Structure 1
Amino acid sequence: MGNIKGTNPILKMDFPDPDVIFVDDTFYLVSTTMHFFPGCEILRSYDLINWEHAAYVCDRLDGTDAQKLKDGKGIYGKGMWAASLRHHNGKFYLVFSCNDTKKTYLYKSASIDGIWEKSEIEGFYHDSSLLFDGDRTFIVSGNTDIHLTELNKDLTKPKEGGIDRVIVSDKGNPNLGYEGSHLYKIDGKYYLFMIHSLRDRWRRVEAMYVADSLEGEFTGGDVFNDDMGFRGSGIAQGGIVQGQDGSFFAVLFQDSGAVGRIPVVVPVTYENNTFVFGIDGKAPKILENTSTKPDHIYDNLTCSDDFKYDIDFSDFSIEKYISMKKNGEISSEKIRRNGTYGLNSCWQFNHEPDFSLLRVDKEGKLFIKTGKTVKGLEQAVNTLTQRTVYPKCESQVTLDFANLSEGDFMGLAAFIGKYCFVGVTKDNGNFYAVKYHKEIGNGTDNEVKEVEEERVLLGNEDLKNGLKVKMTIVYEDERDEAMCAVYKDNEWKSIGQSTKLFFGLDHFTGCRFALFAYSTIKEGAEAGFSNFIYR
């Protein structure tokens, strides 16, 4: 073992609703992924400070029209939320509710990067937490009123005659009542951790309640209220975990503007049957912990990509991909490293992809074909995304726009509820580099509009070589913003104005870089992307 140092927040990107466990020599963290696929990402660490991708639990959910962006439907701000990850009798268990299907899913696997078996638990359990207690299993869930429900032996529904009660309530809270439950049994007592807001203002704080038995009274209150000096934004919601040396830590998250909700590690002292959060009640900015593998080199959670993949999407489907994994035709290591249906695991699609509209060539170019006409970016199928990183990040990509038709768009977006993008469109027979942003009408005019800020006529040289576009995102002094540029005449030239970025409940996710293509007049365009650079 060796000592490892790091800084809070630990990941500096959008991994909300963390739940962390420690198994053998490894920490595993699961996070909410909502409308992105593959979904329910699990990260791995040997020190709680450095993290890498370990697995995606679900390649698809139920394949509904909304999950596929069909017929004008979508699951923005919905999908899977706040999973609970547990390890019991040699098997991993993971449960989460899905806010568009109103179902609760249970996944089981013998290994983190193995095959996850999917089933359902009857009922809808918001922000749930599993507890295995001897030969009994419980699920705690809810908002404001927190329910404890005993499950049957098969974990398919509530146990007949079992415990089913409200154990804590936060009625009357004008901001946010208790939710985000995490329940543990430690030294014979039951500890329930939750988030809620202060009643006099919006501010996330962490609460803890304790009981001697699941039939008894849970008592407690707020145990942690800190923002590390960042925008008055409270740090809360998440679980506790005990590491290799017996030390306890809480892994919570902090609302961090447009970048999203970022995990924070808080040391926790356990003594006299209670937990004390932080150092003098604060989350430290400098972290130190022992590592079970101090020489381990972690894979990055973001990546550049030359798109040189050996994938034939013409003979591909999610069903086939799942079958190949089950039959052992794809190694667990390849699933981990290239976990996004064969693409690098750094990528996730916005909603479930349509592989019939994707292809890669041997020269290193990813093509997205449009299969329908849409009104804007949020309806575009196969939009490919990566998280952005605090406090500054940048990406660029080369666009092959030769096969665009009238009314087609392709490019690179700062993808969030109020998004912007830089790219290429074809209009009246000419190609233009453009910068757009999303605007929402006021009053009775509630239509979403994509507003053009600037366009630059492209010539034959741009068509021959492709157009390079770049986006820089800065998170600083609450001025979260994106700036765009195009490479013309052997130099980078800014295009359009800087766009203020906002985290909103419409998407409920942090800003991402996104590669996209869509048609507004006639489907069938094929847009090529190459040499994606992330820095």
Structure 2
Amino acid sequence: MKTASSYIIPADFPDPDIIRVDDVYYMVSTTMHFMPGCVILRSYNLVDWEHASYVYDELEATPAETLCDNRGAYGKGMWAACLRYHNQKFHVSFSAKDTRRTYLFTSEKIEGPWHRSEIKGFYHDMSILFDDDGRVYCVSGNTDIVLTEFEADLSGPKENECRKIIIRDEKENMTLGYEGSHIYKINGKYYIFLIHIPKGKMRTEACYVADKIEGPYTGGDVLCSDLANWNSGTAQGGIVQAENKSWYSIVFQDHGALGRIPVLMPVKFIDNHPVFGDGGSAPKEVSVPDNRPDYKYKPLYSDDFTNPAWQWNHIPNKNLFAISKDRYTLRTDKICRNVVQASNTLTQRTFTEKCSGSVSVDFSKLNDGDIAGLCALEGEYGFIGIARENGRCKLIAAEHKIPYTPWTMDVFDDDLPVIQNEMEISGTTLRLKAVFCLEHEKENVRFSYYDAESEHYVDFGEPVKLRYTLDQFTGVRFALFCYSTKKTGGEAGFENFSMSLG
């Protein structure tokens, strides 16, 4: 058995769904507007994970998903996917809020190639069950949880199928009604796991059980538990059975600006009802069987620009960049007001509560009005970068605070960043650094530049306060960017990125 922290991945991997195929576990997670998208991780013990696949390179080349509209698909794109293995094929399905379509990707191998199709209709937080009799069902919805029978090929609902509400939350008593469905058939009974936020409580896991797929379902809350004093519930995710017949669940916890991070805990079935963790509380540690104890996992973060740890912010224009292991070069082709409108921004998740990243920026080919640099990317972002004006370059530190509540969705950012600090610089390259502290109630990023004369990094500007907001709905990321405010065609190069933990 392997014993480890229940915080299995200290990074933004929300909405987990998990399966086991032979001795291998696979977990899918939400990637929103980042490309390539719909990440799948692999493990042999549920604790250590590595990248296995992206399901697609790009979802839909719309004006929003390409950022051509300067608004983007922030907080949209793919989320809360369902992962299944049936008839020797992997199935991944999800609905995208911006396109209002439901997608199905299938593959014989987890690495792909993935075949794309669509499921007729729109199914919020969907979960699919391949029943023993060959019939296929979908559970989805918010507040009202709906059962839909699909055609066997998953092309859509069966002809004349009526979507039936099988579970209903009490709207007047909820901050967030039931959603995040996960359906399973275990020992002949149907289990539906959900999350909601009752008024006055944190995110809470619920479970309903029935003898028949159509119900009636009985149940209620099974887990309302904080972890590490974040005052944030551990909930929403899948369950999986290990080879030794033990059950485990991976849910997530809101962890401030770091994002929504996965939490592993055991599940026991007592009188056909699930008991999570330590008698209904999230544990600090968990013990699991290790199917391949000598296996060496590849990290989920990387200095190599070609590593799958890196994703673009929205669909990139492949004609405007060049990429190798240690250099990323991009050219602008539109006018922007800020970094969230910039195309071809290359990003990577922050990892652990304390991490840092540094990169050398080649600004020799910037045009007047261009800005290029290193950003702590989220709704309330900060960055350090080089701006060119009137033929001269200056180092700037800037930030942006949203003008609406942190719970606001379906908005776009057209504000100019607020410059905190600036100074004129010479030369053509400069190394920049971002140091993150993402501990509870201390969430901030501190920017600095490397001073060749003193051979030390020098802090530049005040630390930028960070927080998780729903306009982008993701944890803060390292982001390498370049955008034009006056004339297109400027170019920036980024070399030798280096990430450190702790």
Do they fold alike, i.e. is TM over 0.5?
yes
Q: In structure 2, the residue corresponding to 1:456 is in which secondary structure?
A: strand
**Residue 391 (structure 1) shift:** 1.3
- Mapped pair 1:515 → 2:480: yes
Checking the alignment, whether the CA contact within 8 Å between 2:81 and 2:94 is kept in structure 1 is yes
Q: In structure 1, the residue corresponding to 2:257 is in which secondary structure?
A: helix
Checking the alignment, whether the CA contact within 8 Å between 2:174 and 2:196 is kept in structure 1 is no
- Mapped pair 1:469 → 2:469: no
Give the equivalent residue in structure 1 for 2:177: 177
Checking the alignment, whether the CA contact within 8 Å between 1:470 and 1:484 is kept in structure 2 is yes
Give the equivalent residue in structure 1 for 2:329: 367
**Residue 439 (structure 1) shift:** 3.4
Instruction: Supply the AA of the counterpart residue of 1:188.
Output: G
Give the equivalent residue in structure 1 for 2:300: 301
**Residue 440 (structure 1) shift:** 4.1
Give the equivalent residue in structure 1 for 2:450: 487
Give the equivalent residue in structure 2 for 1:80: 78
Please list the CA deviations of residues 274-307 of structure 1 after superposition, one character each: whole Å capped at 9, or x if unmatched. 21111132222122211111111100101113x5
Q: In structure 2, the residue corresponding to 1:378 is in which secondary structure?
A: helix
Give the equivalent residue in structure 2 for 1:525: 490
Give the equivalent residue in structure 2 for 1:405: 367
Measure, in 2, the Cα distance between the counterparts of 1:141 and 1:215: 14
- Mapped pair 1:455 → 2:422: yes
Checking the alignment, whether the CA contact within 8 Å between 2:90 and 2:110 is kept in structure 1 is yes
Give the equivalent residue in structure 2 for 1:382: 344
Measure, in 2, the Cα distance between the counterparts of 1:499 and 1:71: 28
Measure, in 1, the Cα distance between the counterparts of 2:310 and 2:225: 33
**Residue 154 (structure 1) shift:** 2.0
1:206-245 residue pairs with structure 2 within 5 A? 206-245=205-244
**Residue 243 (structure 1) shift:** 0.9
Checking the alignment, whether the CA contact within 8 Å between 1:7 and 1:287 is kept in structure 2 is yes
Please list the CA deviations of residues 22-68 of structure 1 after superposition, one character each: whole Å capped at 9, or x if unmatched. 11111100001000000000000000000000000011112111100
Change (3 A) 1:476 1:361: closer
Q: In structure 2, the residue corresponding to 1:356 is in which secondary structure?
A: helix
Measure, in 1, the Cα distance between the counterparts of 2:228 and 2:222: 18
Q: In structure 1, the residue corresponding to 2:289 is in which secondary structure?
A: strand
Instruction: Supply the AA of the counterpart residue of 1:470.
Output: K
Give the equivalent residue in structure 2 for 1:26: 24
Give the equivalent residue in structure 2 for 1:311: none
Measure, in 2, the Cα distance between the counterparts of 1:285 and 1:5: 11
Give the equivalent residue in structure 2 for 1:130: 128
Checking the alignment, whether the CA contact within 8 Å between 1:440 and 1:447 is kept in structure 2 is no
Give the equivalent residue in structure 1 for 2:394: 432
Instruction: Supply the AA of the counterpart residue of 2:180.
Output: G
Measure, in 1, the Cα distance between the counterparts of 2:402 and 2:126: 34
Checking the alignment, whether the CA contact within 8 Å between 2:256 and 2:440 is kept in structure 1 is no
1:407-426 residue pairs with structure 2 within 5 A? 407-426=369-388
Checking the alignment, whether the CA contact within 8 Å between 2:371 and 2:483 is kept in structure 1 is yes
Checking the alignment, whether the CA contact within 8 Å between 1:109 and 1:117 is kept in structure 2 is yes
Give the equivalent residue in structure 1 for 2:109: 111
Change (3 A) 1:416 1:202: farther
1:38-49 residue pairs with structure 2 within 5 A? 38-49=36-47
Give the equivalent residue in structure 2 for 1:262: 261
Checking the alignment, whether the CA contact within 8 Å between 1:439 and 1:449 is kept in structure 2 is no
Unaligned runs of 5+ in 1: 308-342
Instruction: Supply the AA of the counterpart residue of 1:125.
Output: Y
Alignment RMSD, CA only? 1.5
Measure, in 2, the Cα distance between the counterparts of 1:384 and 1:257: 22
Aligned residues: 489
Change (3 A) 1:170 1:360: closer
**Residue 174 (structure 1) shift:** 3.5
Give the equivalent residue in structure 2 for 1:9: 7
Please list the CA deviations of residues 451-500 of structure 1 after superposition, one character each: whole Å capped at 9, or x if unmatched. 1111122123xx2xx20000001012312100000012222110011011
Give the equivalent residue in structure 1 for 2:410: none
**Residue 449 (structure 1) shift:** 2.4
Measure, in 2, the Cα distance between the counterparts of 1:451 and 1:295: 50
Instruction: Supply the AA of the counterpart residue of 2:309.
Output: C
**Residue 157 (structure 1) shift:** 1.3
Q: In structure 2, the residue corresponding to 1:158 is in which secondary structure?
A: coil
TM-score by length of 1: 0.89
TM-score by length of 2: 0.95
Give the equivalent residue in structure 1 for 2:143: 144
Instruction: Supply the AA of the counterpart residue of 1:164.
Output: R
Percent of matched pairs sharing the same residue? 47
Give the equivalent residue in structure 2 for 1:497: 462
Instruction: Supply the AA of the counterpart residue of 1:452.
Output: I
Please list the CA deviations of residues 88-112 of structure 1 after superposition, one character each: whole Å capped at 9, or x if unmatched. 1111111100000001001111111
Checking the alignment, whether the CA contact within 8 Å between 2:377 and 2:476 is kept in structure 1 is yes
Checking the alignment, whether the CA contact within 8 Å between 1:440 and 1:449 is kept in structure 2 is no
Checking the alignment, whether the CA contact within 8 Å between 2:82 and 2:127 is kept in structure 1 is yes
**Residue 171 (structure 1) shift:** 3.1
Give the equivalent residue in structure 2 for 1:351: 314
Please list the CA deviations of residues 106-147 of structure 1 after superposition, one character each: whole Å capped at 9, or x if unmatched. 111111112111111111000000000031000100000000
**Residue 405 (structure 1) shift:** 1.4
Measure, in 2, the Cα distance between the counterparts of 1:515 and 1:401: 13
**Residue 216 (structure 1) shift:** 2.6
Q: In structure 1, the residue corresponding to 2:190 is in which secondary structure?
A: strand
Instruction: State which drifts further: 84-93 or 154-163.
Output: 154-163
**Residue 442 (structure 1) shift:** 7.8
Unaligned runs of 5+ in 2: 406-412
Give the equivalent residue in structure 1 for 2:408: none
Give the equivalent residue in structure 1 for 2:190: 190
Measure, in 2, the Cα distance between the counterparts of 1:380 and 1:474: 26
Measure, in 1, the Cα distance between the counterparts of 2:384 and 2:368: 17
Instruction: State which drifts further: 287-296 or 10-19.
Output: 287-296
Q: In structure 1, the residue corresponding to 2:400 is in which secondary structure?
A: strand
